Structure 1
Amino acid sequence: MRVMIVTDAWEPQVNGVVRTLKSTRRELEAMGHTVDLLTPLEFRTVPCPTYPEIRLSLLPTAKVRARIDAFRPEALHIATEGPLGLAARRYAMRHGLPFTTAYHTRFPEYVQARFGIPLAWTYRFLRWFHGPARAVMAPTPVVLHDLHQYGISHGVLWTRGVDLDVFTAERANVLNTAHPIFLYVGRVAVEKNVEAFLQLDLPGSKWVVGDGPALAGLKARYPSASYLGVLKQPDLAKVYASADVFVFPSRTDTFGLVLLEALASGLPVAAYPVTGPIDVLGDSPAGVMHEDLREACLEALRIDRVTARAHAEKFSWRAASEQFLAHLRPLPASAAPQDSTAPTAAHDHAKTASPAAVRSGD
């Protein structure tokens, strides 16, 4: 099957959405499918206000139309609600093409935290955007419930995975500060609530890995903590394996891939009992969820690293990608975009894919 995924979230961003889409593409291609990612790298862009690492594509309508026509997808997935997602949605609606969408992050909560815009206003936009989709993929049952409460009732579950070969339980020693080492990994932004971690009175030392608009202010207010920028996965894996507890202070994340990365590295989790940690940890003894984040951190120190790793091994990218594939809505042959100038490589590749692989997308 030829699958086109349209996303406004892409490199140089380093976040869960980008990692999810990269991993999904890798797994789908390993199954024999052809995946084309339409990203802001192909467009002129401007930085998003207050979040310059996010690039917003300028006037993408014509090129999005040309790219869809040229690729001739057999399934169209719109991953984000930005300029590219809007252009792809407009194309699909105009041509009567079925498509799926995804809800990766708590977008209304982030907008409220940054700009004070009421949740109801943003959810109204989301109802409009996702309404025509044949399915809206969300990462957890709790998020599906939230969407349903705000009038988006056609949600389906698309879980996440972790690369168990990159993130392993083998210990490392690349953080040269006192133990116990408490670690945060992720975007450093107001909605991530990193300050709730940094202000805790904890023994040992604290580390923050990542970048974002709140980083400079946090460095100035909490100079005793140690800070690293964005790391590539092999280096990040060593950092996880050098720490003692992974602290996840966010109250708004829908899933939190970093939770799985930490657990796969044998790192127990301390978090608030909110969406994200609840869906990843469940009733597992691999972490501690408590409204007193300090207490959660101290209790997590007692958890064996083997327990954390064992819980992470329940998640795989192959299973998550098979779930994604099953939710796609293939375009009818009569409705699929046709362009005589389209490259034939993707078409030839699709013809060689196994019948079972093609059927798995039905």
Structure 2
Amino acid sequence: MQEQDNAIYCVENFVPANAPLRIAVVTETWPPEVNGVALTLSRLIQELSQRQHTIQLLRPRQDRHETESHREGWSELLLKGMPIPRYPQLKLGFPSKKSLVQAWSLQRPDLVHIATEGPLGWSALQAARVLRLPVTSDFRTNFQSYSKHYGVGWLQKPIVAYLRKFHNRTLCTMVPTQAMHDQLKILGFHNLQVVARGVDTKLFTPDKRSSSLRDQWHADDQTLVILSVGRLAAEKNLDLTVKTYQAMKQNNRPVKLVFCGDGPYRAKLQAECPDAIFMGMATQAQLAVAYASADLFMFPSLTETFGNVTLEALASGTPVLAFDCAAAKEVIDDGHNGWLVPGEDAQRFVLRALAITQKASTLHEVQLNAAASIRKWEWSSIATEVENMFRRVLTGALAER
């Protein structure tokens, strides 16, 4: 059993099948912070709340004026945190074991779900052990892959060791793809369960296509608009996006490159590609219009655990060009709703982009399939998977006891 022996197996009160659950959710990021973890986790919790489960959210206070929210079926506990180096708008929770033990002694959850692996998440593991609470977790960020992009590649092995130690102390770790499941299993992670991320198909839809936004981009009907959405950071492989765009320009077809998002890499990208359009940070509503108004979503990242932007683009009717990994590997049927580039070959990525954009009809045929191809990834289906996983964990914890 190795580290698995230390997992928390006891539950004080058996929860009957289909009964509402009391779920404590621990996270170090939450809206209005804009990142994949915050946005997808908040949507999942919203779906679970609508099913009458009682949610207690535990997270760092985002600013000193923020107050805790309380309503029927929902409560918050805001804890101390500090800005993350190089990401000052995000917080890292301080160790808070004592506060969590006190909170859960007064308001005992059926299950603790930990979404992030920082000091607050580790404190939650320790507090749950003291109170004999079952714990599940999420593997949401590929920290071990990010390290090499920030000059600390030597930290990769210690990071993997910490993450393995962390997640193997929980009864189940949700991972977003089968490929990630297989990779972590080889690295010694136990109790893995594949649960994909979801997408809001009412928000992200081809109906949001906007001629007025395309006019702002100076893009007419003959112009190919390439869209990139996400944090402008080194680990996103955005230099390849610029390289591909520049190769397309040399083919003499009208083309525009639009970046939606912000981050530390923006200045470098603007210097390399001054004619690109930089929208900066956007709301979800603005994103939905941008996705639907583009013609091709380009996603060359190789460090994603999932990449929800892939689902959002497809739901918006915009085909995706990506490497054969993460969400793209799971949801793209090559040549049907997008295109996959095997391996990590940058030149092959550029050549595939040139081939698929040579004729407007090629893009148009695939655009017709994009939105319909991801219906099974709607949030209601994902929430059902998570709910069933929670119940299995509780049943197994009772059996072990």
Pairing 1:143–2:205 present: no
Letter in 1 for 2:240: A
- 1:134 matches 2:171: yes
Q: Does 1:326 align with 2:398?
A: no
- Aligned match for 1:296, one of 352, 355, 360: 352
Secondary structure, aligned partner of 1:5: strand
Per the alignment, in what secondary structure is the counterpart of residue 39 of structure 1?
strand
CA contact 1:268–1:300 (8 Å) conserved in 2: no
Alignment counterpart, residue 49 of structure 2, candidates 14, 29, 38: 29
- Rounded to whole Å, the distance in 2 between the matches of 1:296 and 1:40 is 44
Give the residue type in structure 1 aligned to 2:234.
V
| Residues 274-285 of structure 1: pairs in structure 2 closer than 5 A | 274-283=325-334, 285=336
Partner residue, 2:16: none
* Conserved? CA contact 1:264–1:308, under 8 Å: yes
Aligned residue among 210, 213, 216 for 1:172: 210
Residue-by-residue CA offset, 1:90-128 (whole Å, 9 max, x unaligned): 111233322011101212111232222343221111111
Q: How does 1:190-339 map to 2 (within 5 A)?
A: 190-200=234-244, 201-203=247-249, 204-283=255-334, 285-290=336-341, 291=345, 292-301=348-357, 302-303=362-363, 304=365, 305-328=367-390, 329-330=393-394
Give the secondary structure class of the aligned counterpart of 2:326: coil
User: Would you say the 8 A contact 2:175–2:195 is kept in 1?
Assistant: yes
Equivalent position of 1:339 in the other structure: none
Contact kept in structure 1, 2:95 and 2:122, CA below 8 Å? no
Other-structure match for 2:226: 182
User: CA separation in 1, counterparts of 2:355 and 2:50?
Assistant: 41
Q: Deviations over 1:192-248 (max 9, x none)?
A: 111210122224010111112212222223211110112111111111111110000
Larger Rg: 2
Q: CA deviation at 1:284?
A: 6.5
After superposition, the C-alpha distances for 1:303-359 in whole angstroms (9 at most, x for unaligned) are 33221111122311111111111222339999xxxxxxxxxxxxxxxxxxxxxxxxx
Secondary structure in 2 matching 1:35: strand
Count of matched residue pairs: 334
Q: Which secondary structure state, in structure 1, belongs to the residue aligned with residue 154 of structure 2?
A: coil
Shift of 1:283: 4.9
Per the alignment, residue 194 of structure 2 pairs with 157
Letter aligned with residue 140 of structure 1: T
Task: Find the aligned partners of 1:105 and 1:284 in 2 and give their Cα distance.
Answer: 29
Residue 13 of structure 1: how far off its partner (Å): 2.4
* SS at structure 2 position matched to 1:202: helix
What TM-score does the superposition give when structure 2 sets the normalisation length?
0.79
Report SS of the residue matched to 2:377: coil
Q: 1:92 to 1:236 in 2, by over 3 A?
A: same
Q: Contact between 1:181 and 1:205, CA under 8 Å: does it hold in 2?
A: yes
Q: More relative contact order in 1 or in 2 (CA 8 Å, sep 6+)?
A: 1
Match of 2:71 in 1: none
Judge conservation of contact 1:12–1:53 (CA < 8 Å) in 2: no
Q: State percent identity of aligned pairs.
A: 34
- Tell me whether 293-302 or 42-51 shows the greater mean CA deviation: 293-302
Q: Residue by residue, what CA displacement relative to the aligned partner does 1:235-291 show, whole Å, maximum 9, x if unpaired?
A: 111111111100001011121111111001100001122233112215571111124
- Which of 72, 94, 102 aligns to 2:138? It is 102
2: CA distance, partners of 1:72 / 1:331: 17
* 2:124 paired residue among 61, 85, 88: 88
> CA offsets, 1:8-44, max 9 Å, x none?
1223421211121111111111212112221112233
Give the distance between the partners of 2:23 and 2:114, measured in 1 at CA.
11
Gaps of 5+ in 1: 335-362
Contact residue 103 and residue 136 of structure 1 kept, 8 A = yes
Distance between the aligned counterparts of 1:6 and 1:321, measured in 2?
Answer: 17
CA contact (8 A) 1:255 1:279 kept: no
Structure 1: how far apart are the matches of 2:111 and 2:97?
19
**Change over 3 Å in CA distance of 1:192–1:50 after alignment to 2:** same
CA contact (8 A) 2:337 2:370 kept: yes
1:129-156 C-alpha deviation (Å, 9 max, x unpaired): 1111111110010000011010003100
Counterpart CA distance in 1 for 2:352 and 2:104 is 48
TM-score with structure 1 setting the length = 0.87
User: Which of these residues, 57, 74, 87, is aligned with residue 110 of structure 2?
Assistant: 74
Aligned to 2:31: 11
